[in-house]
Amino acid sequence: MNILRVLLVSGCMFLTGSQAYAQKLSGLWLDDLNIKSFSEGIPAVLGKTNASGDPMLIKGVHYKHGVGVNSTSILAFYLNGNATGFSALVGVDDKGNKSLPHTFYVIGDRKILFKSREIRWGEAPQAVYVNLTGIKRLGLLVMVNDEGLTKTYANWADARFEMLKNHLPQNIPNDDERYILTPPPAKAPRINAAKVFGATPGNPFLYTIAATGERPVIFSAQNLPSGLSLDTKTGIITGSIKQRGSYTVVLKAKNRFGQAVENLRIKIGDTIALTPPIGWNGWNSWARNIDREKVISSANAMVRTGLSQHGWTYINIDDAWQGQRGGKFNAIQPNEKFPKFREMVDYIHSLGLKAGLYSTPWISSYAGFTGGSSNLENGFFPDSVRDHKRLFRYIGKYRFEKNDALQMAEWGIDYLKYDWRLEVPSAERMSIALKESGRDILYSISNSAPFSHVQDWARLTNAYRTGPDIRDSFNSLFVSAFTLDKWSPYGGPGHWNDPDMMILGNVTTGTQLHPTRLTPDEQYSHVSLFCLLSAPLLIGCPIEQLDAFTLNLLTNDEVIAINQDPLGKPARLVSEENGVQIWLKSLEDGSYAVGLFNTADFGKTPESYFRWGDEKPKAFTFEFSKIGLKGKFKLRDVWRQTDIGSFDQKYQTQIRHHGVVMLKMIPEGSSK
């Protein structure tokens, strides 16, 4: 006997055989949810408006309810059988792109329940209704080949769930085992600091010998150049070197369990940042709520958690520290949240750490604070600009790069994040100002540096953002990192490709502070690929809130050493087959680092954008010849820090869904 389903306005009646029953339903507008928390795309999604915050219009018709999205959009919901229907009108917003076609999908438990026609600007919306009875996981997907174009606005207008009474959609569960692979450090010392360090002649020098091992540890340094001194208790080396040249220093760390010895190459010349910067940035932790106490707490936590013993160095203050211009340089001064600013920086340095700041060439920063230019000759930042920050996101008539660089140098700043979507002249002006400031300040530009100018970024800056702001979703990680192969030839010592901050721990990327939505496997892939890419490693969560799993991810010295390898050669994507990407990185000692990533052909089908809860590991045969390697190799699992054995021509393994197997490959016969 056929099953009859009748959807009523006031409820839902199901007739199955001779049994009939009714259950009340509750209509739920999609825009009444905290819709940002369900988004796994990159640009913002907004409820009740289009993605730019303007009224939602499709072919001139205004919709009071709905969700506006931008670019390829991914909304994921856990319904667990508590929804019976979904309806909407889908179309391109009247302020959207006028040429690109958009396709809308509704996907439930891996099945495409609805696929729209290709919809373009100016076309009437298409109606959607799908029966969701029994559906556990639902995905709403908009696909558009935007190729970096902006304002590709589309709408789920009048979008509405029919839910069983007293039930609401939930976020997709992220409760997979948080398995720990890295063994704890030994009690005997191990030196983990970068093996090469660059500084400018005559400028202040700060290098900390990062070392694990039971305290107390006594540090020493043989052949330390004239002008430098070492604190034997802390391992902090300070001073300055006037003479250009390359100096080899023998570093030692000793405790009652043994002694570690490593060589450090100090290069005094025109190039700093000879290895990628590694530290913390405050934006994805505290956003606009950053203050002096949070910065000091982060610095203390960097030491207390032991991160500093593994080489983590920078404590970077992002946007929202800026007050008015003033002081002897007429430079941006800290606002009321940052009293005793120089004292704070000195304290960070006393811990062997370095301090960073944020600025922008615009009149108004992204968060609405004083920028590096103004339409007023004295650079004053009036409330009228602060209150209308979006209108002042451009470079003003008067520029203050030299003023601000001199002030940062006087404070002792070591790192500048310079935002937003810079053009070459602005980047060059600040580059010159920093080099003439009298202090080595690592220069990082953000956001979405155009690839067409990559040679300029490599020439002018120490790090340059290769894409948009990262979000804590696999889609964002994939776009930010798994597509960087074309950038790899341009990264290297002194100029690093930067895919943005790390999305581990508790993050606030567009929503309130919450645990990262990356699965444990995706987090291992995240750290692995950033290290293979020689990318800056900037923790984007409150350090004092780190749990054991996240701290373990950040303290594997063999994985970090791949990132900090002195050769500084970013990995290349050398193979992609059957849903597995292989990234290969040459190391200074003649060995290789390899990442085998099970991306499961992410982005190649509509279903692949979502996590369905039934994913399985993939059996994989790694054939060395397919990536250009011949002969026999000793393989080491760097996450587990264990030798696997010697293998000729191939290695068979299993890779977890969106996970990684990360190997060090040592040519047979090598002692490395």
Active site residue ranges: 419, 469
Separation CA 105–CA 203 (nearest Å): 57
- The C-alpha R_g of the chain, in whole angstroms, comes to 27
What long-range pairs does 290-295 form, CB within 8 A, spacing at least 24?
Answer: 290/317, 290/318, 290/320, 290/321, 290/337, 291/337, 291/338, 292/337, 292/338, 292/339, 292/340, 292/341, 292/344, 294/542, 295/338, 295/344, 295/348
Among 335, 331, 332, which residue's Cα sits nearest to residue 289? Answer: 335
Cβ atoms within 10 Å, residue 244: 11
Tell me whether residue 256 is exposed, middle or buried, using C-beta atoms within 10 angstroms of its C-beta: 0 to 12, 13 to 18, 19 or more.
exposed
Chain-centroid distance of CA 107 in Å reads 28
Neighbour-count burial of 65, counting CB atoms closer than 10 A to its CB (0-12 exposed, 13-18 middle, 19+ buried): middle
Residue 589 amino acid letter: D
Q: Are 474 and 516 in contact (CB under 8 A)?
A: no
- The DSSP secondary structure of 586-638, one letter per residue, reads E-TTS-EEEEEEE-TTTTSSGGGGS--S----EEEEEEGGGGT--SEEEEEET
Closest CA to 427 of 416, 435, 436, 418: 418
Q: What are φ and ψ of residue 656, in 5° steps?
A: -65, 155
Q: Which residues on neighbouring strands pair with residue 127, listed in sequence order?
A: 89
Residues whose CB falls within 8 Å of the CB of residue 303, separated by 6 or more in sequence, listed in order: 351, 352, 353
Residue partners of 628: CB distance under 8 A and separation at least 6: 574, 584
3-state secondary structure 226-250: CCEEECCCCCEEEECCCCCEEEEEE
- Residues 356, 417 contacting (CB under 8 angstroms): yes
Contact 475, 41 (CB under 8 A): yes
- 108-126 in b/e form (b: 16+ CB < 10 A) is bbeeebbebeebebeeebe
Cα–Cα distance for residue pair 615/612, rounded to 1 Å: 7
Cβ atoms of 268 and 200 within 8 Å: the answer is yes
Q: Are 599 and 314 in contact (CB under 8 A)?
A: no
